[in-house]
Amino acid sequence: MTAGPVVLRSGDGSELRAGPDGLTLTRDGVAVLRSPRPARIALWPAPDGGGELAAGYDQVQLRSNRLTGRAVLRAAGARFEIDDVFSWAGAGLQLQRQVRVRLDDHFERAPTGFASWFGWALTAAAPRWLLPGAVYDRNEYAPAYAIGANLAGAGGGGPGAEPVLVREDRLALPFAAAYDSNARLAFYLNNERPHGGTVTADDLAPAVISDRLRFGSFGDLSAGELGYCYPGTEGTVSYPPMWTTGIGNAQADSPVNPFPDLGDHPELTGPRAGTPAEAAGGPWRGAGWARRYHPVADGAGHGYTLLTVTTPAASFPEFVRRVWRFGWQRHRPAVRRVDLAAVERVSLDLLAAAVVTDGTEDAPIGVPTWIDVFTGRPGHLQDTLSVGFVGRNLEVAATLLRAAARHRRPDWERLAATMIDSWLAAAGGDEGLCHTEWDRSRRGWVDSGQPGVVYLRDQSEARTAVLAVAAGRPSPRWLDWCRAYARWLADHVSPDGSVGRSYYLDGRPADPSVNDGIHTAAFLARLAAVTGDPAPVELAERIAGYYWDTFHAGGVFAGGTLDNPNCCDREAATLALDAYLAVHAATGDPRWLAAAQLAADFCETWIVGWDVPMAAVDAVGQPFFDPAAGATGLGLITLGFSAVDTYLARHVGDFHRLAELTGDRHYADVAELLLHNTKQMVQLAGEYGYTRPGDQIEHWSIGRGRGYGLNSGWLPWVATAHVLSIWDGAK
């Protein structure tokens, strides 16, 4: 080591100091990050003496505004030459790392892998995190089986805690960021040149050694370290591919089944359909570590470029907004334009053609919840008609009714009106809550899966859909049905403005969790706009005030999805965004516009902003995802797995309205990305081998199991989201 510290100064007063105690990054003269052993190598299998090598630099030089550090680490006849170059890159401190492997003649030639690591030790005792799409704050609202679940709890930090490493290929953008609430400082570590490539063995093998692995991982969060490991080992939780979990309609039921050998890996198969994930310990936990390495071979090596940024932030929500937008600017998500008119045409044709009727008076008319794109047939586990959430039959009807006027299709108008009338007659709800899900094989209502229990989100979505087309109808029945729900809410909203997650049809609470009730405020605000009655607005503001003060102002958005309850997810943010915009439109109060912006900022962090390769480099065919399409613009769904879909297309209008109301062009850029990129995989003719034009698989995975989800199903909300986004995007 060169005698004395070597100092690399930036123009804003920040300094990088390299000395015998490693690296120290200072801001305004205060040490904020340290890396005592910046040169680190992990080996697999671990040789005698351990599997990790770590040291400071042997040599440090300062030349032409660059600080270079060199270290040589040795193990079992192998030398790892690490050359790091640091420079101030305007936005922050850039590290360019190169690692080279040299072997002695006596090196044992058994298959051996290595990974290199760079990390900063945070000074904050309990940092708050953002790894977009995987870790929010301390993951208090993550399922118990999720990566980094409850970092503030007994298993999430401190001596002996399980390591928390997160692969960058399951993140919306390839960065990790930490927030020190006491110092009000944000720390951001970004992979400047992500690639994300992988091999098919990555899907299932506990350890893989391959030079074609091109993704890293961030961590160790449980140790309070802002670090990067390349390639991307993950542990002790690493979600295996979703298709191994055995949840929902099995892909084996489809004639296109790329997974015939699943039986060879029974240890990865989770609980069968209908088994609660929590009761089984979580279907995605897998079998421990997923270790990933590059081969130890003479002359082999790898490199990567990282950017470290420190910036002030007054609060956790401001931290999220600042680091997310910084990442967006660094990676510049690109719009892939599609033929929107063609997507609208095939989506509407598909919705109309998919409507089924059982020919009996007690059953509603609608579109099955789940249809296999390769057969055109409903799945035996989801051969239902659903009023909201993923089925959205009343939204289907409302969309067809509006389309009938736009495209002069009286047949669609008759079909849509018949659908709505059949639902109102069969499901009830004239005095309050209605049934929500009809099972076609059982010929009865199954609703939430519990007898007589319905989710309130389904109620709000169903009534909002009917409300959108109720005005001007010759019969007041539709609007009366919406008013009945408003009266029910007036009687059941708590004095503080909270509402429960689910209720019995007679109005008794079934699930008293109150995380996600903001959707009721959106419905009430829209009802007031249609009827001119100010009473619903007063109730909407009371509800909005509760959810803002209790959850959203602090950056907590949880409980949006019905099938992964009460955890942090993107839909909680979208429900809040929609509601606050609706209440703002009804009142003009700028408070609700600011609330909508904060919700939008969190919603964005689930949007994939870089093109994660959706197929392994050695994959033979990919029947689920077009290799010419990209992942950018898809949206991660929730914590606990790494699935992406096109749901966020339905909020194109919300982001456009925010851009108009605030003058912030960034929101318009988000809207344009969601408008186009979400539609890349809609079949316009027969190009993907699906049964019908308009078909699109509902979701896929990133991380392990690239490009495949649980199955090859289409859900009605895919098509309605596309159509609504096209109409909103054209405004």
CATH number of the domain within which 306 lies: 2.70.98
Prior bond of 132 cis (ω within 30°): no
Residue 712 lies in a domain: yes
pLDDT digits (tens, 9 = 90+) for 311-336: 999 999 999 999 999 999 999 999 99
pLDDT of residue 117: 96
Are both 181 and 212 inside the same structural domain?
Answer: yes
Q: Are 236 and 163 in contact (CB under 8 A)?
A: yes
Q: Please tell me whether residues 354 and 320 are part of one structural domain.
A: no
Q: Check residue 272 and give its pLDDT.
A: 33
pLDDT of residue 347: 98
Residue 301 sits at φ, ψ, to 5 deg, of: 170, -175
Domain of residue 701: give its range: 348-362+606-731
Q: What is the pLDDT of residue 731?
A: 58
Structural domain total, the chain:
2
- Sheet of 128-131: strand order equals 59-63, 66-75, 78-88, 93-103, 301-312, 185-191, 175-180, 128-131, 135-137
| Cβ-contact 244, 265 below 8 angstroms | yes
Residue 153 sits in the same domain as residue 299: yes
* Claim to verify: residue 12 and residue 61 sit in the same structural domain: yes
User: Whose structure tokens read 């799409």?
Assistant: 133
Does residue 141 share a domain with residue 196?
Answer: yes
If asked whether residues 156 and 107 sit together in one domain, one would say yes
In a domain? residue 416: no
Residue 518 lies in a domain: no
Q: Does 648 fall in a domain?
A: yes
Classify the C-alpha dihedral 420-425-428-431 as positive or negative. positive
* Model pLDDT, residue 283: 38
The per-residue pLDDT for 276 is 32
In this structure, is residue 601 part of a structural domain? Answer: no
Same domain, 309 and 357: no
Residue 94 lies in a domain: yes
For residue 672, tell me if it sits in a domain.
Answer: yes
Residue 253 lies in a domain: no
**Intervals of the chain under pLDDT 70:** 1-4, 48-50, 107-111, 153-160, 261-287, 731
Domain match, 299 and 358 both = no
- Per residue in 342-374, pLDDT tens? 999 999 999 999 999 987 778 999 999 999 999
How many Å separate Cα 488 from the centre of its chain? 33
* 322 shares a domain with 178: yes
Phi, psi (deg, nearest 5) at residue 112 = -135, 140
Does residue 214 sit in the same domain as residue 91?
Answer: yes
Q: Are residues 166 and 24 in the same domain?
A: yes
Q: C-alpha 564: how far from its chain's center?
A: 13
Q: Distance (Å, rounded) from C-alpha 56 to C-alpha 60?
A: 10
Tell me the helix, strand and coil percentages in the chain, rounded to 5: 30, 25, 45
Does residue 354 share a domain with residue 206?
Answer: no
